[in-house]
Structure 1
């Protein structure tokens, strides 16, 4: 096969470097031994096709290898799944076909050897040379580098921007056999010096000149592609002032979508405490309710037809992810359920009659008179906000990583079934979502970090412009059908952390230095407080606010942290942007955070033993990130790093070790029961049956505080240990801001006073004119 060689393959957040034999994820290297990597490369050569065990044997092992190939291949597949966070039961990447072989099921993008060159018509995928191992083991392979090494500068997945290429046809495995490359051998310093000394000096001088030229061009290109600063403010107008637009429940997969119907914005509005689909006139701000069938009185808006006559609504009558789809007139009235379809989002196809919907990790279509669906595309995650370009040639959508729940923008050309990430030059945020096309089909506005951005053009030549920059949170954009006007929901800055005062029986503002605190933990001597802010950074200070220090950099997102018993360290649940949650140890005076476990799956909620020698931790519920292994409670010894599982802890999460070391509490995965573990006698009991989140121990270990978030008024309960007796400490009624829909239970003061971060569940409608004044 002729054409430019492919040396890198991108799939999801991963990239396989076929020349070096390295696997990368979101800019960090994932440890994968050499032989499993070759198996992965063979699967990547034929995405979507069945690769038999015989093919893998021929591709990976030399002819004189004497080994149990079935066992060796199975072991390699297990290593691949472990590195990718995949599972045989619910595969996202590698699917097992019983008695047949394996299939790589995620979309792939082939990256050429020289990405700055024009793409060739066909690009052969190169698998490194075979490895000979007479015993089938990895003993003849040198030690692999440590996991999660930083991506070299200039690599396609570096945080400065992702290099993308259009998908190409994948070659056959026969073609691969005629064109191979070998792994680069590991070179010692002496070997490198020896090679350098053998270089022709003239050639070396030319190489240096070329390198300098390339660097200069790269710097010019980077300067030209820096996002344009918004030096001249765009005209922003507040449309409504007292119309509470409902944002929906506070979970990662809850998106407020709006639609335009002429001069009306269709969106859910709170009426008598319940969201109701309504139309807001953008000229008069008048609101009119839209009648829908009783079967979908609780619904979310997915899309509106191009002629503005029909709505696609998704039922929300239950908490299940996949729900029925309905077609309802945009003026209201009776509707029609789409037969046989359960989805979490949907959109009209460009023909205006068929429907594209997202279910699980797939996109599927169904016609107006059809009873069965057709799979349209396989995705490496769950898709939301499906939006076709005005000419119907390109679909863009928000893709959720099923493990990390990081959001990213992806696209799919009409008629193609191979999705790819949207190229956004010099965009460094780890999250982007919820994009809409402008009528010209060249501009695309999306949301990231509570601000709006505009992407003009396509590919590396696209221009990125930041449209808003706070203090208003700008969410859920929708474009006018004509012109350059964008409508969005604006939220005022939250009221800040609130502290409960038992004597007054009301929440009052917490100390000013904690205003942005989200989850708070006090040291056991009462002198220090640590907290994560609303931007997932970790801080610490004296309890009077003095000696305030930020402990983590922008390279780490921190969910929560707990003080060690001696007050010298904190155990944090954190992750690199786009990565999985891990346990880190952070010095109380700052410095580099030390990752404690090196896994390709989420580890969460570290909590200290009373002697400071161990940590109990758990895994994550689906709301925070899908887990591929069992969910149990485990204890890690900090001296030996040995991990032990607590017996009978299956399907539990969010553990907390009592300060006296005698008890561990955890929640069931459905968050309807609080379980208590007796450390001395090693047995579990149900402490209380209630909806529960964010358990926190009292300082004397006699009670646990939990947030009963599903109960009426969402009370914070104090539960006695071990009796299970409960009392309400505070609830929503103690907050005086009527716009507060719910709150996050962030911590307990030394005196047992709850700390909460209120969440405003509604916003107002704003418009933004993209033509500057």
Structure 2
């Protein structure tokens, strides 16, 4: 029977769903941004749908009787924000009705849904036990059923519904399977998803009863484990030397994990072997790799370094070339009989990923899905235990979904179609169950308050920005949207807001011209290099500045607007073998010249007064300063650093110590080189943030950060037969 408001956690009305527990509003499964205070107003109106809620009741509910605020203005603003989010209007209301001098009433029909109770039924647990045949699906297996207007499976129910609608309307070649019955395994929302810009392909693993995965905790990635039966995550105990663990693979017998220790900005890192139960491990000291797996015999290691695969003993000795490849290999996975190896190849120049196959001896290299998609974005595949199916992820048009390639078939079939971003599918050790990451990242732009010494919401106009820059006259701001990496600009008060770029272009960073009339930015299209563009602040005259077959990065203006300083992308973003340096582009002649002494430096930033150019070492552990008057470099700071930003008076350089646990933001004085702590992760007192990205400085030089509040969970489904 339908739930009542007393035991409801979600309320549905029209195409909308309000989660009263998490404070999230969704339309047709897609999250709609609504700030905390307007959501509280909406909550009270929903709880008393059909009734008039007086202004006095709303005041008491929001602020209490002892708080003095501009009540009428604040309440009116909150109601307007709710109407904007719902597409409603005061003149012709569909949801919220205004009653003059009385209050407000929610007038649309509402239905209630109990809090989702995700569990793994006995049939699923049996299906996962090692050494047992796949169990037949029984009535105890998770199923998602509709009753009146109530979905008993929460988000999983929404996923299943959308999948069913998708399969009813479209076919993607081959036999169309039934929609997946998706269940959630973990519920922390802390799983570390991939980062397309840094070409980070996350991996998970299972030993049959547990699943192992990367998880965010206090600004750092840790390796965690969870029993599949209950989904409760706990940290895996690792040797103290492993500061930043990244999972590579699990041994064939399920007893050991291969881990990369990602302690620097270098592409190749040390490898460790640790027991799946945690504890003491052993470093493979002679190997530097960016990914690894076991050979089918369980006695040797296959590791990836550069554009090649190498075979070695488990202690790293006796390394021999296994295969030379036309790209950087990741996600090496053997067929169950050990006769075939399938890998993901990354083209670091064009930032594409494709699936390839080799024989057991490293020969007969061929693409798995030639000409299936362009540009390629397929990666991270796993075989089913019987070797008949291969599940992988593919990303297009800003969405990442799971696909399956059946044995003796050339065309994959699509398994998912949103609403999450699906990544890193792995298969159970028996049966046809898969596990995967489902990402739905929730972030918020925060501003550091020197008065309270904490981060507070920046404002209503830029809640989902992940990088912000202000014009030098303080009149304008530009930002990058978290949703699709598009570039926007507006007045600093949020008015005159326009979008400057859209899909398929992805923008990474930008800077205003000295006269505030143009913006220079770093962007790419799918399958192409990072390039430097300029666009007029009114949205016209978009042009590439220096078309070339190399990645360009981090553009910034000279103070007189005649030159652009730029660098190259670091190895983590591509072109690991190419030389790096800082360049000056003359906008009048179109010629670029290397800045003397800038080899192995990147991320240049020109000081507003024109005196200095700051840059980082490729290892991201030194901040260098170029004096344009003396034409010489000097060391400004020696510590981990990322995302440098100049203060508006050119006296200070701010940067983010990304590898430190506290993720501290420092500023260093240009005159004497002394560093000061400005803010850190612990200053996000009001929010349970997992980590943050340094997003820039406001006009008063207060740091802005894009804080991630939740990221992803592990989900499971049984493959169709």
Per the normalisation by structure 2, the TM-score is: 0.67
Cα distance per residue 1:470-508 (max 9 Å; x no partner): 3x4443322123333222234442232212222222222
Alignment partner, residue 57 of structure 1:
none
Is the Cα contact below 8 Å between 2:268 and 2:288 reproduced in 1?
Answer: yes
CA offset at residue 638 of structure 1?
0.6
Structure 2 residue 609 is matched with structure 1 residue 660: yes
Alignment partner, residue 204 of structure 2:
258
Alignment partner, residue 728 of structure 1:
677
Structure 2 residue 453 is matched with structure 1 residue 505: yes
Task: Sort the Cα spacing of 1:551 and 1:326 in 2 relative to 1 into closer, same or farther, 3 A.
Answer: closer
Cα distance per residue 1:374-400 (max 9 Å; x no partner): 322111222111112334443222222
Alignment partner, residue 643 of structure 1:
592
Alignment partner, residue 425 of structure 2:
477
**Partners in 1 of 2:207 and 2:269 — Cα distance?**
25
Q: How does 1:191-202 map to 2 (within 5 A)?
A: none
Alignment partner, residue 316 of structure 1:
261
**Partners in 1 of 2:565 and 2:705 — Cα distance?**
25
Q: For structure 1, which segment, 443-452 or 650-659, has the greater mean C-alpha deviation from structure 2 after superposition?
A: 443-452
Q: How does 1:435-514 map to 2 (within 5 A)?
A: 435-440=381-386, 441-446=388-393, 448=395, 451-457=400-406, 461-470=410-419, 472-514=420-462
Is the Cα contact below 8 Å between 1:435 and 1:446 reproduced in 2?
Answer: yes
Alignment partner, residue 343 of structure 2:
397
Is the Cα contact below 8 Å between 2:448 and 2:703 reproduced in 1?
Answer: yes
Cα distance per residue 1:566-599 (max 9 Å; x no partner): 2222111122323222211222222463111122
Alignment partner, residue 495 of structure 2:
546
**Partners in 1 of 2:606 and 2:399 — Cα distance?**
35
**Partners in 2 of 1:702 and 1:334 — Cα distance?**
48
Is the Cα contact below 8 Å between 2:176 and 2:413 reproduced in 1?
Answer: no
Task: Sort the Cα spacing of 1:621 and 1:713 in 2 relative to 1 into closer, same or farther, 3 A.
Answer: same
Alignment partner, residue 191 of structure 1:
none
Alignment partner, residue 545 of structure 2:
596
Alignment partner, residue 234 of structure 1:
180
Is the Cα contact below 8 Å between 2:219 and 2:663 reproduced in 1?
Answer: no
Aligned-residue Cα RMSD (Å) equals 3.8
Q: How does 1:611-760 map to 2 (within 5 A)?
A: 611-626=560-575, 628-711=577-660, 713-736=662-685, 740-759=689-708
Structure 2 unaligned segments of length 5 or more: list them.
Answer: 1-168
CA offset at residue 342 of structure 1?
4.4
Alignment partner, residue 523 of structure 1:
471
Is the Cα contact below 8 Å between 1:312 and 1:346 reproduced in 2?
Answer: no
Task: Sort the Cα spacing of 1:447 and 1:249 in 2 relative to 1 into closer, same or farther, 3 A.
Answer: closer
Task: Sort the Cα spacing of 1:575 and 1:482 in 2 relative to 1 into closer, same or farther, 3 A.
Answer: same
Alignment partner, residue 383 of structure 1:
329
CA offset at residue 266 of structure 1?
3.1
CA offset at residue 459 of structure 1?
9.1
Cα distance per residue 1:223-256 (max 9 Å; x no partner): 9975899998633322233595566999836544
Is the Cα contact below 8 Å between 2:402 and 2:422 reproduced in 1?
Answer: no
**Partners in 1 of 2:219 and 2:655 — Cα distance?**
25
**Partners in 2 of 1:344 and 1:230 — Cα distance?**
37
Q: For structure 1, which segment, 227-236 or 530-539, has the greater mean C-alpha deviation from structure 2 after superposition?
A: 227-236
Is the Cα contact below 8 Å between 2:174 and 2:411 reproduced in 1?
Answer: no
CA offset at residue 735 of structure 1?
1.2
SS of structure 1 residue aligned to 2:573: coil
Is the Cα contact below 8 Å between 1:312 and 1:325 reproduced in 2?
Answer: no
**Partners in 2 of 1:228 and 1:541 — Cα distance?**
48
Is the Cα contact below 8 Å between 1:708 and 1:717 reproduced in 2?
Answer: yes
Cα distance per residue 1:643-666 (max 9 Å; x no partner): 233332232221111223232222
Structure 2 residue 526 is matched with structure 1 residue 560: no
Task: Sort the Cα spacing of 1:457 and 1:589 in 2 relative to 1 into closer, same or farther, 3 A.
Answer: farther
Task: Sort the Cα spacing of 1:228 and 1:549 in 2 relative to 1 into closer, same or farther, 3 A.
Answer: farther
CA offset at residue 298 of structure 1?
7.0
- Identify, as 1 or 2, the structure richer in strand: 2
Task: Sort the Cα spacing of 1:409 and 1:511 in 2 relative to 1 into closer, same or farther, 3 A.
Answer: farther
SS of structure 2 residue aligned to 1:733: helix
Is the Cα contact below 8 Å between 1:245 and 1:764 reproduced in 2?
Answer: yes
CA offset at residue 332 of structure 1?
6.0
Task: Sort the Cα spacing of 1:420 and 1:676 in 2 relative to 1 into closer, same or farther, 3 A.
Answer: same
SS of structure 2 residue aligned to 1:612: coil
Task: Sort the Cα spacing of 1:623 and 1:309 in 2 relative to 1 into closer, same or farther, 3 A.
Answer: closer
CA offset at residue 707 of structure 1?
1.6
Structure 2 residue 289 is matched with structure 1 residue 343: yes
Q: How does 1:194-213 map to 2 (within 5 A)?
A: none
Task: Sort the Cα spacing of 1:756 and 1:576 in 2 relative to 1 into closer, same or farther, 3 A.
Answer: same
**Partners in 2 of 1:525 and 1:537 — Cα distance?**
23
Cα distance per residue 1:265-298 (max 9 Å; x no partner): 2345679998765542212335677677777797
> How many pairs does the alignment contain?
548
CA offset at residue 641 of structure 1?
1.3
**Partners in 1 of 2:367 and 2:587 — Cα distance?**
40
**Partners in 1 of 2:505 and 2:402 — Cα distance?**
23
Is the Cα contact below 8 Å between 1:404 and 1:624 reproduced in 2?
Answer: no
**Partners in 2 of 1:685 and 1:550 — Cα distance?**
40
SS of structure 2 residue aligned to 1:578: coil
**Partners in 1 of 2:460 and 2:178 — Cα distance?**
32
**Partners in 2 of 1:627 and 1:309 — Cα distance?**
33
Is the Cα contact below 8 Å between 2:689 and 2:709 reproduced in 1?
Answer: yes
**Partners in 2 of 1:726 and 1:359 — Cα distance?**
37
**Partners in 1 of 2:258 and 2:556 — Cα distance?**
43
CA offset at residue 426 of structure 1?
5.6
**Partners in 1 of 2:285 and 2:674 — Cα distance?**
48
